[in-house]
Amino acid sequence: MTSSAIEIRPVDSAADRTTFMRLANAIYSDDPNYVAPLEFELGARLNAAKNPALKDMPNQLWIAYKNGAPAGRIGAIINHAHLDRHKDKTGHFGFLESVDDPAVLNALIETAAAWISGQGMENIAGPYNFSVNEECGLLIDGFDTPPYVMMPHGRPYYAGHLERMGFRKAMDMHALEYYPVRQFIPEKRQRFIEKALAKPNVSIRTLNTSDVLGDIRVIIDIFNDAWSDNWGFIPFTEEQAEHMAGELKPIIQKHNVVLCYYNDEPAAFGLVLPNINRAIHDFDGRLLPFNWAKLFWRLKIKGVNQSRMPLMGVRKKLHKKPVGAAFAYKIIDMVNAANMDHGVTHSELSWILENNESMLNMLTEMGGKIYKTYRVYQKAL
């Protein structure tokens, strides 16, 4: 098929947005591990009026048509929060999906790259949907299992096509699978944890369900400090914290948020989510007319036996102190025990930067095993 058969059209209407959202369903029609995101949720993320993260993030979406039929999609993003922090003149691409056709992939990437270049950028990197704080990275290993909540899936051919276009690795991120067990911390390590935390200036609690927003603000404050030296980091804003609290409130559980205090200051946190993908795997992205009732029953009555820890952090000033390490171990110990009590049998710890050796070592020591790898690619324009 020649490139002349490929047409790239911008997403300009509600109908275009629906086509954009549903396009991936056809790409993965023969893949039993694909889980379609809920359309109402994805639609809200793509809508600047509903997603505060887009407030300072100009973007454009396109659909590729091959012989008149949708065959691929892409988004281009100028993330000013990223540019302000990293000053690398890099625009991002995301939401990439395509049939296995180099002409389609090339046309999509070239369209996004031209738009990004037109915004004054000198490099392109991705995928980001829309930022490093959301779904990001291209799946390059671990295609044989479904993605957990807020994690992307992918096709094995994407990486090869991007690399043939001159893209190279910027960073890999790992997801670890973990099967909860009691007493997973070695006895010597457990004694260290108990000693480090047995002090009057240390306190630990779970979520305050009457003030979810307040606790999310505490989490974001710790996160913005703890992760500030990490590759690709951009801070969450107050608006994003409020938005996150609203999104998480219906699904978050008291035992799945742990907050640690040191000298009366919030010092560390852990956040675990039920794996919503387990509950919506057969919905094809739609809640109506009856899937909303199935979702309520599966989440609130039956329960989900899988969970994911997407966020954990310890303030930088405690990173090299015994109490900081003890907080990290204690957080995982607490959510592990609580989730087992609630019937969880499978967990994912994700994502972890490939250069975060201390965290990877801690998690593998506890029984975690790397089973998926995601790659962010980059290229000069």
94: closest CA among 145, 50, 54?
54
CA 274, chain centre distance (Å): 14
CATH architecture of 3-172: 3-Layer(aba) Sandwich (3.40)
180 close to 345: Cβ distance less than 8 angstroms:
yes
Which pTM was predicted? 0.94
Q: Which of 82, 31, 43, 8 is nearest to 285 (CA)?
A: 43
Q: Provide mean pLDDT across the span 116-136.
A: 97
Give the mean pLDDT of 45-52: 91
Enumerate the β-bridge partners of residue 126.
Answer: 377
Helix (H, G, I), strand (E, B) or coil at 133: coil
Q: Which of 255, 257, 250 is nearest to 279 (CA)?
A: 250
Supply 139's token pair. Answer: 């799946």
Euclidean distance between CA atoms 82 and 91, whole angstroms: 9
Q: Residue 344 and residue 327: Cα distance in Å, rounded?
A: 22
Mean pLDDT of the chain: 95
The residue type at 300: K
How far apart are the C-alpha atoms of 218 and 269, rounded to whole Å? Answer: 9
What pLDDT score was predicted for residue 188? 86
> Distance between CA 270 and CA 220 in Å, rounded?
11
Phi and psi at residue 265, to the nearest 5° = -110, 135
CATH number corresponding to 180-344: 3.40.630.30
Sort 25 into a burial class: Cβ within 10 Å, 0-12 / 13-18 / 19+: middle
Which residues are bridge partners to 25 per DSSP? none
90-98 and 123-126 beta bridge pairing: parallel
Band (pLDDT 50/70/90 cuts) for residue 4 is: low
Taking residue 92's Cβ as centre, other Cβ atoms within 10 Å add up to: 28
* Strands 59-66 and 6-10, sheet pairing: antiparallel
Q: What's residue 36's pLDDT?
A: 97
The single-letter code of the amino acid at 363 is L
The two structure tokens encoding residue 62 = 């396109």
Tally: H helices and E strands in the chain: 12, 15
What letter would DSSP give residue 300? I
In terms of Cβ atoms closer than 10 Å to its own Cβ (0-12, 13-18, 19+), residue 126 is buried
pLDDT at 2: 45
- Residue 285 identity: G
**Using one digit for the tens of pLDDT, what is the confidence trace for 151-207?**
999 999 999 999 999 999 999 999 999 999 988 888 888 999 999 999 999 999 999
Taking the C-alpha atoms of residue 146 and residue 348, their distance in angstroms, rounded to an integer, is 11
| Average pLDDT of the residues in 13-31 | 96
pLDDT over threshold 70, residue 358: yes
Least confident of 3-12, 113-122, 164-173, 278-287: 3-12
pLDDT value for 55: 86
**Local confidence band at 80 (pLDDT 50, 70, 90 cut-offs):** very high
Q: For residue 347, report the phi and psi dihedrals to the nearest 5 degrees.
A: -140, 155
Question: Cα separation of 233 and 268, whole Å?
Answer: 18
Would you call 26 helix, strand, or coil by DSSP?
helix
Q: What is the pLDDT of residue 99?
A: 97
Strand 369-380 to strand 346-353: parallel, antiparallel, or no bridges (unpaired)?
Answer: unpaired
Taking 50 as the threshold, does the pLDDT of residue 296 lie above it?
yes
The pLDDT score that the predictor gives to residue 340 is 96
Q: In the numeric block, which tokens belong to residue 49?
A: 């009026």
Identify the burial level of 361 via C-beta atoms within 10 angstroms of its C-beta, where 0-12 means exposed, 13-18 middle and 19 or more buried. exposed
Contact between 78 and 116 under an 8 Å Cβ cutoff? The reply is: yes
Cβ atoms of 267 and 217 within 8 Å: the answer is no
Q: Within 10 A of 14 (CB to CB), how many other CB atoms are there? A: 9
Check pLDDT > 90 for residue 32.
yes
Q: Where are the domains of the chain?
A: 3-172, 180-344
What span, in angstroms and rounded, lies between the C-alpha atoms of 262 and 225? 15
